[in-house]
Structures are given as structure tokens and as C-alpha cells.
Structure 1
Amino acid sequence: MVETGAWRRRAWLAGMAAAVAAPLHRASAATSITLTVAAYPAVDAIVKAALPAWRQRHPDVAVNVVSRQYGDHHTAMTTALSTSVYLPDVMALEASYLGRFSTGGGLDRLSLPPYDGGALQSRFVPYAWSSALNPRGELVAVPTDIGPGTMLLRRDLLARAGLAAAYLQPSWEAYVAAGARIKAATGAYLISNAQALKDILIRTGIGPGEGLYFDRDSRVLVNSPRFVRAFELAREVRRQRLDARVNAWSNEWAEAFRRGRLATELSGAWMVGQMANWVAPDTRGQWEAAHLPGQTFVGYGGTFYAIPRRSEPARKAMAWALIRLLTLDPTLQLAAFKAEDAFPALLDVHEAPFFDEPLPFLGGQPARRLWRDAARRITPVQVHKQNNFADEVVGTELDNVMDRGKPIAEALDDAERLLQRRAHR
């Protein structure tokens, strides 16, 4: 999964809201148990919206939702798991953090009794389910939402260049060639930053037993054809000055969308909601969605619920019941999709009529069908606890290639050496 974009999205949204840590429902005299759920925006809102349904089933079990900003939440969960202090009963985890949490032994193995969560596998999008397994194949979290990748295209800019979406889709080389035509005809950039191409292309062509940067035995994989191709394509985009060289979720990035300076965006399906509500609402009707170029299918983030291994044993049964409600109830999953653009990991929801409805921001295009198709074609990628560190290393080396002329082979050799030193930590 493309974690970096999802992280920036969460951080950007979190910065718009004050962190809160208050009980949603105060225990009454009849309450016998109080569960604590640790979450971040907008997962906290989804949990709170589900509580009326929870109280109907369990009126004697109160729920406190403790919400922190995205980065603060995951830092707090890391500390809680390592010290066993202030452990919640249920914790929400973003996909980019799941690797480091799943390998440390701090989460309950939900595939084992008394949970027996393995029986739920057929109900979830396959790649999301695989992401919730630790290296031993044990379930340590349950997926709730996903971010199938999509390409958003600015119709008016393509029209001025004499292009249609189909011209950008056959291959990544066609995508870059179309970008050159768009730049010549309109002055607009193809993409915000060439790093985004690298983030996608290194996630294609991953073999069995391999992860993104490491295989199942923690061998480093960056010296491989998929990394070479990703670096070559990103370098070419930078060489032709087709990227605006702005970072996602920055003020400059948002302003470029508002001013019609970016012709495409490669992101998760949730980006449409962010564009419509926060980033560039005045561009409504000027965009359309398509699959990523070259029949590429990747995921952008996602949310999972887990139970800390050392949380209070007397509350674990109710914690599991709450996770099951949040992840398996089609009505609640659909409500979260409508309210928070939380694309359901639950397959039961995927045939809902809501998927056929037109999206006003996309000029009436029923794009959810497209994203549903993409979600089912994403290949699972094995997670590793050092993936976030590897993201930083590889991104830095790509900057060295694009901006300082460092040879690609030398950059990947240097990245490999650094990652080898961290692989088994």
C-alpha cells in the first residue's frame, strides 16, 4: 500500500481539528463495563456514529473514544504497547503503521481462540485481509476501510491538449508522453511531485514471499528491476519538468489544484471527497476518475482495529464484540462510507446501490464501480516493521538522483546498504 500519501492525508486533516480525549458516553449506574477505544480523525467520528447501534446490543457497556491527532495517536499506541500503561481495549491503526505493530507481539492474535477471527476471511477484500496478518500468518487486526488507487484527470486541461483519459492509461510511458503534451498546450504540470510515481511503481511486480522493501526473511529488495524502473520514470518526469515539485497536503499543492495547474492526481479513492470538501471544491465537475496507468492496482492506506495483548482480560470479549460490529455490520460500514469516504473493506457492502450513484464532483461519473473493481485486483504485499524507515531512505535517494544527478545504480546500492543495517532491528 502507498502509505506516505495516506499519512499526509491523515496528518493534514488532523491539523484542522483539535485533539480531544473525552468520553462519548458516561457510564450510568447500570453500566458494568467501560471500553476505551483509541482512534484518530476521522475514525473517531465513525466509532462515535456506531455507538447508538452498540448501546442497543449492549446497554450495560459504555464506550469512551479517546482521539488524538494522527501522529500523536500512533506514538501513544507505541508507548502504551511497550510499557503496558494506558492501554486501550481497542486501538485503530493506519496501514502505514501496521507492519511495526504486527511484528512486535503487542497485539492479540485474533485468529486464535477465543476470537477465531480467521473464519471471517472470505468477507473482506483479500489484500486488506492479508495486510492484517503478521509474518507468521496470524491475524492481528481486522480491516475496516481501504483506499483503492485511482487516477483523477482534469477534463478541461486534457481537452485543451487534444487528449482523452484513454491516452494516459495504456502505460506509464504513455502517461508521461501525455504530460508533455499537456504542459506544452496549457502550461499545467502533469503531477504534483515525481516521488508519487516511485511510490506506485515500486509496488508493482512484487513476487510471492516478497514485501515492498524486504522479503519474508528480511532480505533487502531495493536492487531490483522494479526500483530501477521507478527511479528511471520519476527522473524522466523531473527532467521534462512535468511535476510541480510540491508536496501533497501542502498549501502550494492545494493552491495548484485550485488554479488548474495540475492535470492529474494519483491517489486513493478517498481523494475525491477531500477535493470536493477541502482542497478544491470550486473545480467540481472538471474531473474524472480512471484506473492508474498500465493496469496498475495499488492501495492507498486503510484502517484496522486491534486488541492489545496486555489489555484488561475481563474486557476482551466486549472489545471483540465491538470490533465485529464496526467491521461486519453492512449498515454501519455503508454509513461510514457516505459520511467519511471510508471505502469499505467488507465485501458485503460492495453490491449496495450506493456504488451506482453518480458523483457530482466527477461530473456525474459513477466512479465507485471503478474503485470497487480496483480494490479486488490489488495484490497483497507483505508488511515489514522497517517499511516506514525504508520509505524515507528510498525517497531521499530518489531526490539525489533527480536533483543532484546521482546515478541510479549508486543510489540503490547506498539504499541497500543502509537498509541491511536496519533490517533485523
Structure 2
Amino acid sequence: MKIKALTLTSVVLMGIVSAPSFSADADKRIRFDGFPDFDSSLKVILPDFEKKTGIHVDYLMNNHGDHHTKLTTNLATGSGAGDVIVVDVEKIGPFVASGGLVDLSKKYGADQYADRFAPYAWSQGKGGDGDVYGMPVDLGPGVMYYRTDIFKKAGLKVDDVIKSWDSYIAAGEKLKKIGIQLIPSAADVAQTIIFTTVPEGEGIYFDKNGKSVVTSERFVHAFQVAKEIRDKGLDGQILAWSNEWYEGFRKGTFATQLSGAWLLGHLQNWIAPETSGKWAVSHLPNGIYGSWGGSFLSIPKQSKHQDEAWELIKYMTTNRAIQLKHFATIAAFPANVTTYDDDMFKEKIDFLGGQQARLLFAEVARNIKPVQPSKGDHIARSIIFENALMEVLDENKDIKTALKEAERLIKRRTRNL
């Protein structure tokens, strides 16, 4: 290790500790538990935080899945968690319901910062009591990435393609004629519809009274559109984050991907940097606005340094300059709406052919409606997307039958929550 790397921050990455060459005050040392690419951001923002506060921050990074599995155990046993933890939007509901997180409203007056955040994200960080347990740190405004060169070759105009799901599918049929897939997986379309057409004030899988809604027209329609795409041979049946998925972006085997704004960082930094200038982004099809991911910062009750942990959370979320630095470093879209008038948002993005895409991301973020998280969300998500949808797409199971069976399973598995 180079001498200049021995900073105030000790790095704990993938379980490997690189200890600093000094002994810090234990009362001023905290640990941050997260997943990549948070480590890249922390390397940039922590030196100033440590200098200003005297609080030293170690960090532990595990991959997304292992991180949340570990936290589930930590919160259940009351030990082992960091002082600040990153929680994905899909897990914030069950983690809050576990009772293992500090009430940031009661202890630190977090509600005073509500106006600084996208309303839908602020709502997601709340518990059933209306108090805040997770401070939003980044968002995933939903957009459609598309290959401009492939669209031109197929004679497609993006505004026509996204008018409706019918026009999106029609575009897929044109693309098929030139040997290009519309999208890696039809399942992404079902997910998009399910996530973006939630009645205001309700949850994705449960209504405000905790009753399952997975047999509703919203789910039926989502499955129908995805099934039509699959039946017409318009998707590649490619799983996200697989080697085939990466290769598809690099080789242009599919023309669109529905995702969050954060995908830009992955595409330009490591998945397909050689395709720079061939991509652009648009609104999602059918005039819908929706979120595709997002992260929260919370403090486990088991933390012995809660006040110091709050200082770091406040620094990373309420501070405009730090939110912008987080954005510039890893393309994690700011949850703090006070950043959206910064000149950074007007910058042309070379990877997207000079498009001022951040303005579009901000517009989407402002228009997303709040969705009520539920403690059974993680169970319902698994059953819907890993069981029911796959049975419909891969095994030709009747849609309504699959959803009714999924609902029975969800009720059984969430009965004791």
C-alpha cells in the first residue's frame, strides 16, 4: 500500500480489512455497510467529512444480495450490523417492519428535511407510524434506453415507439425483421407496468389495509403485455446482470432496455463503454412515470454510535454539494431535489450522443407518485417474478390461474409477519 493511501478512513471491502496506521478514538469511529459502487463514492466524500467532524469511517462492501442477506440476520439477532447501513428500496419496508432501525423522526427530527426530497422516496422511508426510518440517498427514475443507430436502421422514431405498449410491440416486430431483439427480457416490461401503475397511497403488492392485490387488472395487464412480447419472439429471454446481458449491450443484439437512470453509470463505465454515442434515453412507453430502484441510509438500533452515524447520514443526504458529488462519482441520481437546478443537469452526456439526459431524469423524478412499502413486499416480489411470471412466460400457464395461485402463496407466507 502506498503511504498516501493511509488516510483517516480504513477500507473494509468484500470482507478484507486494510487497517489504518494509527489508533483512532473508538467513540469517534463508525462503520458504513453497503454495496458497490458506494465505496467509490465514499472514497471521494469521506476525507472532507472526517476532517470537519473528527468522525472516522470504516466501510464494509458486499454484493447487493449478500449485503441484504447479512443485514436481515444482523437485525434479527441484534448484532453485527454497521452504524450506518444502505437499504435498497425493495428491502426498506421489511427492514422498517423488523423493528431494528432507529426512528429518525423522533430521535433526530428528520422530518424537518422532508421538503428537500422527492415526495415518493420520502414516503418510502417511513414506517406505519408515519415516522422516518430511512433517509433517501439516491433514486432510480425509470426511463427507456435505446440504440439510436438501430432505431434509424429499422426506420423507427422514438416518440412513435413509446406512444403505447401496442406501438412498442409494433416496433419490436419491425426490429425482428432486421434480426434485432426488442428487449433482453419480456419480464422487464411486466415489472415496469406493475411498478408504475400503482394507485396513489397503495403499495405494489398490497393495498393500504395489507390485502394482496396481485390478482388485480394491473397485474393481469402486465403479464398479458409481457406474454405477447414473448409469444411473438421479440425478447432475448436474457437475465439481467448475466454475461449474455452484458454482451447484448456491447454487440447491439437488442434495441431497448427499461431501467433506472443509474444504468447509465454501468453502461459507460464498464458494461459497454465502446458503444458511446449510440445510446439515448426517453420516457417509458405508454406515458408512465415510475421508479426503478433507489437507496436509503438507516441506523440500526444496535449501533453504539448513533449520533455519529446520524451526522454521516445527514451529510450524505441533506447536503446539496455532497449529493451532487455522489451523483458525479457513480451516477447515482440524487434523492435531494434541491440539486436539480444545478448546471450539472444541463450538461450534454457524450455516451448518450450529447443528450441532456439528466433533465429528463429530473422530470421523471418529480412526477413519480408515492408508493406505500409493505413488510411483505420482498416475499410477494419473489413469488410474482420468480414463480408466477416465469410460469406464464416459460410454461404457457394461464395468467389468471398463475396469479390466483401466487396470491394464495403470498397470503400463506405473510400470515405471521
TM range (shorter): over 0.9
Of 102-111 and 326-335, deviating more is 326-335
The answer to whether structure 1 residue 251 and structure 2 residue 243 are counterparts is yes
Of 346-355 and 72-81, deviating more is 72-81
The answer to whether structure 1 residue 177 and structure 2 residue 170 are counterparts is yes
3-state SS of paired residue (1:305): strand
3-state SS of paired residue (1:135): coil
The answer to whether structure 1 residue 331 and structure 2 residue 321 are counterparts is yes
3-state SS of paired residue (2:175): helix
Q: 2:46 aligns with which of 46, 51, 74?
A: 51
CA–CA separation in structure 1 for the residues paired with 2:368 and 2:199: 13
Give per-residue Cα distances to partners, 1:278-317, cap 9 Å, x unaligned. Answer: 22222111111100011111111111111112322xx222
Q: Which residue of the partner structure matches residue 417 of structure 1?
A: 408
Q: 2:62 aligns with which of 45, 63, 68?
A: 68
3-state SS of paired residue (1:138): coil
Give the alignment's TM-score, normalised by structure 1. 0.91
Matches within 5 A, 1:12-411: 19-22=14-17, 28=23, 32-59=27-54, 61-112=55-106, 114-184=107-177, 186-312=178-304, 315-395=305-385, 396-411=387-402
CA–CA separation in structure 2 for the residues paired with 1:207 and 1:26: 54
Q: Which amino acid is the alignment partner of residue 85 of structure 1?
A: S
The alignment yields a C-alpha RMSD, in angstroms, of 1.8
393 and 168 in structure 1: CA distance in 2 versus 1, 3 angstrom threshold? same
Q: Which amino acid is the alignment partner of residue 250 of structure 2?
A: R
Of 75-84 and 334-343, deviating more is 75-84
Q: Which residue of the partner structure matches residue 12 of structure 1?
A: none
3-state SS of paired residue (1:134): coil
Contact 1:133 1:140 in 2 (8 A): yes
CA–CA separation in structure 1 for the residues paired with 2:19 and 2:328: 22
CA–CA separation in structure 2 for the residues paired with 1:201 and 1:178: 18
Contact 1:40 1:73 in 2 (8 A): yes
Superposed displacement of residue 29, structure 1: 6.0
Give per-residue Cα distances to partners, 1:240-260, cap 9 Å, x unaligned. Answer: 100001101111111122221
Contact 1:27 1:62 in 2 (8 A): no
Superposed displacement of residue 217, structure 1: 2.4
Give per-residue Cα distances to partners, 1:176-217, cap 9 Å, x unaligned. Answer: 111111211x21000000000110111233224421111232
3-state SS of paired residue (1:55): helix
Q: Percent identity?
A: 38
3-state SS of paired residue (1:121): helix
CA–CA separation in structure 2 for the residues paired with 1:85 and 1:420: 30
Q: Which amino acid is the alignment partner of residue 71 of structure 2?
A: M
Superposed displacement of residue 20, structure 1: 3.8
Give the alignment's TM-score, normalised by structure 2. 0.92
CA–CA separation in structure 2 for the residues paired with 1:142 and 1:238: 39
CA–CA separation in structure 2 for the residues paired with 1:181 and 1:266: 19
208 and 283 in structure 1: CA distance in 2 versus 1, 3 angstrom threshold? closer
Superposed displacement of residue 167, structure 1: 1.3
3-state SS of paired residue (1:376): helix
3-state SS of paired residue (1:139): coil
Superposed displacement of residue 399, structure 1: 2.0
Superposed displacement of residue 71, structure 1: 2.0
21 and 91 in structure 1: CA distance in 2 versus 1, 3 angstrom threshold? farther
Q: Which amino acid is the alignment partner of residue 38 of structure 2?
A: V
Give per-residue Cα distances to partners, 1:12-39, cap 9 Å, x unaligned. Answer: xxxxx96144367666466752112212
3-state SS of paired residue (2:73): helix
Superposed displacement of residue 161, structure 1: 1.5
CA–CA separation in structure 1 for the residues paired with 2:318 and 2:298: 14
Of 91-100 and 139-148, deviating more is 91-100
Q: Which residue of the partner structure matches residue 14 of structure 1?
A: none
3-state SS of paired residue (1:111): helix
3-state SS of paired residue (2:105): coil
CA–CA separation in structure 2 for the residues paired with 1:26 and 1:328: 32
Superposed displacement of residue 173, structure 1: 1.3
Contact 1:153 1:287 in 2 (8 A): yes
Contact 2:383 2:406 in 1 (8 A): yes
Of 29-38 and 369-378, deviating more is 29-38
Superposed displacement of residue 356, structure 1: 0.5
Gap regions ≥5 residues in structure 2: 1-11
Of 190-199 and 24-33, deviating more is 24-33
Q: Which amino acid is the alignment partner of residue 378 of structure 2?
A: N
CA–CA separation in structure 2 for the residues paired with 1:137 and 1:257: 42
Q: Which residue of the partner structure matches residue 4 of structure 1?
A: none
Gap regions ≥5 residues in structure 1: 1-16
346 and 24 in structure 1: CA distance in 2 versus 1, 3 angstrom threshold? farther
Number of corresponding residues:
404
98 and 62 in structure 1: CA distance in 2 versus 1, 3 angstrom threshold? same
Contact 1:231 1:398 in 2 (8 A): yes
Contact 1:82 1:106 in 2 (8 A): yes
384 and 111 in structure 1: CA distance in 2 versus 1, 3 angstrom threshold? same
Q: Which amino acid is the alignment partner of residue 357 of structure 2?
A: A
Q: Which amino acid is the alignment partner of residue 209 of structure 2?
A: D
Contact 2:33 2:85 in 1 (8 A): yes
Contact 1:99 1:387 in 2 (8 A): yes
